[in-house]
Amino acid sequence: MKNLIDDLNKAFESRIRLGIMSVLMVNVKVDFNTLKETLNITDGNLASHIAALEKLEYVDVQKQFVGKKPNTSYSVSKKGKKAFVEHLNALENLLKNRT
């Protein structure tokens, strides 16, 4: 018998990564400061979680200059969108099959 939690994606166990992906799923792209303020987390905390999601190729990073200031924006990749939807479906399935 298959365990109901087997389909949950370990990458989204962290509430911060879950928050990052949730914000990115409903926005075309979000800059670093907006993401940090929306989730109410520190620069370092956001940077480490974004790096983990980037390593998994779940987020795309766009770096540019606005005037003379660097600006980093993030968007969800196709791979990330697929993984997140599968994770949400697994959560839904888990809730439907609870005893």
The CATH code for residues 14-96 is 1.10.10.10
pLDDT in tens, the chain (99 residues): 467 788 899 999 999 999 999 999 999 999 999 999 999 999 999 999 999 999 999 999 999 888 888 899 999 999 999 999 999 999 998 888 765
pTM here is: 0.89
pLDDT of residue 99: 52
Q: Where are the domains of the chain?
A: 14-96
CA dist., res. 99 & res. 62, Å (int): 45
